[in-house]
Amino acid sequence: MTASSVPGPVPLIAVLNGPNLNMLGLRQPEVYGRATLDDVEALCAETADRLGLAIDFRQTNGEGELISWVQECRGRAAGLVINPAGYTHTSVALMDAILAAEVPTIEVHLSNIHRRESFRHHSYVSRAALGVICGLGVRGYAAALTALAELLEEGA
Ligand code: DQA
């Protein structure tokens, strides 16, 4: 093995979920599908494993807690995948936290927020995100991790 092929530390990706996502599977299944948050975590863990990433998967209903977790990413996580749920459309403070964390961030929504009520069409978080994936259901999380792995390879 040459020095340049020695594997480095496994990059850590924070996967953070906002309010009401603990109700996945029960909550409006016609909009969000039948998968539970445990299913989403299992999908993320499998995907990360395949990509050579580690994940720290969390959910909170609290805006302050979500902001504190985003702050923790600074200097600790190589990337952030976030479904900010309802705070997407309301939280300047969450957008500020993502900007302050200076970590490549992908925003994920299970539903296509642009096909829904007009108040869901605007996202504060998108201003701080490298990219946004919406409308693909739980696949969006796997797609976000795959994209982050490639972006990190490219030096994002
Ligand atoms: C959501 C979309 C948001 O508008 C909503 O408030 C959610 C979930 C999604 O994953 O589709 O709670 O982020």
Task: Report the residue count for the chain.
Answer: 156
Distance, CA of 75 to chain centre: 17
Residue 72 lies in a domain: yes
Residue 71 lies in a domain: yes
Q: Which residue minimizes the CA distance to atom 6 of ligand 1?
A: 86
**Range of the structural domain that residue 18 is part of:** 9-153
Tokens of 122: 């605007």
Q: How far apart are CA 126 and CA 22, in angstroms?
A: 22
Tally of domains within the chain: 1
What is the spatial order of strands in the sheet that 105-109 belongs to? 54-59, 12-17, 79-83, 105-109, 131-134
Indicate whether residue 110 lines ligand 1 (CB < 6 A): yes
Asked about 109 being catalytic, the answer comes back as yes
Q: Nearest CA to 97 among 134, 143, 65?
A: 65
Predicted TM-score of the model (pTM): 0.94
Domain CATH for 142: 3.40.50.9100
pLDDT digits (tens, 9 = 90+) for 39-69: 999 999 999 999 999 999 999 999 999 999 9
Ligand 1 geometric centre to CA of 2 (Å): 46
Residue 128 lies in a domain: yes
Which residue matches tokens 């929504």? 109
pLDDT digits (tens, 9 = 90+) for 92-147: 999 999 999 999 999 999 999 999 999 999 999 999 999 999 999 999 999 999 99
Residue 4 lies in a domain: no
Residues 6+ apart with CB under 8 A from 30: none
Residue 2 lies in a domain: no
Ligand 1 nearest-atom number relative to CA 19:
12
Tokens of 92: 């300047």
Residue 3 lies in a domain: no
Tokens of 107: 């925003």
Indicate whether residue 80 lines ligand 1 (CB < 6 A): no
